[in-house]
Amino acid sequence: MGGDPGTTSEETGARRAPDPIRVLIVDDHALFRRGLEMVLTEEPGIELVGEASDGAEAVEKAGEALPDVVLMDIRMPKSSGIEACRAMKEVAPSAKIVMLTISDEEEDLFEAIRAGASGYLLKDIPYDEVADVVRAVHGGQSLINPSMAAKLLTEFAALARRDEEERTQQVPAPRLTEREMEVLRLVARGMNNRDIAKELFISENTVKNHVRNILEKLQIHSRMEAVMIAVREKLIEFS
């Protein structure tokens, strides 16, 4: 009488739409923030949970709103995007941070990755592509502006050469299982969790567990850093 007796609350919940991706925008230019806001508020499945104009305010807002994805500039007053990225890992550890900046300096790119950023894109990206960036990073991908990729690979190759000279003096890295090594190689190729799952014929949740174990064993914070380790250990080569 009061509804379909064959429908359970669990089945109703299973049909519920997934939670929206919660996004925080951080930039000291109000006009740029407005542009991102206008685009993202029109996107289904994305919820804007706040904005900040400097790094210090960004960390405070991240601790309050616990966003899934943060779009953040590097050069800002009070506290830079790099400093804010490091601090956010403490207050909102699950947040994926994308640097959206005009800086194409190699040092900024490298420091952003070391700080735990999941993406580094230049501000010339079309506004209508920003939502795709948010979804991709939230889904586990690491994104780099194409014009910066060559610089990053050069930096990785130099890092690998430096590390090779010091290998005999280093404490050996924690041993990864054969499956974790497979996952790490695919991460280094830029594949997301879903594609890795298909490649290895395992579930996406299993891939997430492997990635988490890899990051914990290597004591790193992001998939980008995992790529650096893959280069150092010669799991991938550069021609």
pLDDT the model gives residue 197: 93
In 46-203, which residue ranges form alpha helices assigned H by DSSP?
A: 55-65, 81-91, 106-114, 130-138, 146-166, 178-188, 193-200
Query: For 104-143, what is each residue's pLDDT tens digit?
Result: 887 788 788 888 888 888 888 888 899 999 999 998 887 8
The percent of residues in the chain predicted with pLDDT above 90, rounded, is: 38
pLDDT band of residue 166 (cuts 50, 70, 90) is low
CATH architecture of 150-232: Orthogonal Bundle (1.10)
Average pLDDT of the residues in 43-58: 94
Average pLDDT of the residues in 10-25: 74
In the chain, CATH 3.40.50.2300 sits at 17-144
In the chain, CATH 1.10.10.10 sits at 150-232
CA atoms of 205 and 226, how far apart (whole Å): 19
pLDDT the model gives residue 171: 46
Residue 1 has pLDDT above 50, yes or no: no
3-class SS of residue 156:
helix
Query: For 168-183, what is each residue's pLDDT tens digit?
Result: 444 445 678 889 988 9
CATH architecture of 17-144: 3-Layer(aba) Sandwich (3.40)
CA atoms of 98 and 188, how far apart (whole Å): 18
In 41-140, which residue ranges form alpha helices assigned H by DSSP?
A: 55-65, 81-91, 106-114, 130-138
Residue 57 has pLDDT above 50, yes or no: yes
Instruction: Calculate the alpha carbon distances from 201 to 53, 197, 221 in Å.
Output: 44, 6, 26
Q: Which H or E run contains 122?
A: strand 119-122
pLDDT band of residue 191 (cuts 50, 70, 90) is confident
Q: Which H or E run contains 212?
A: helix 204-218
Q: Give the tokens for residue 109.
A: 């790119």
Q: Which of 61-70, 77-86, 145-154, 179-188 has the highest mean pLDDT?
A: 61-70
Alpha carbon 213 to its chain's center: 17
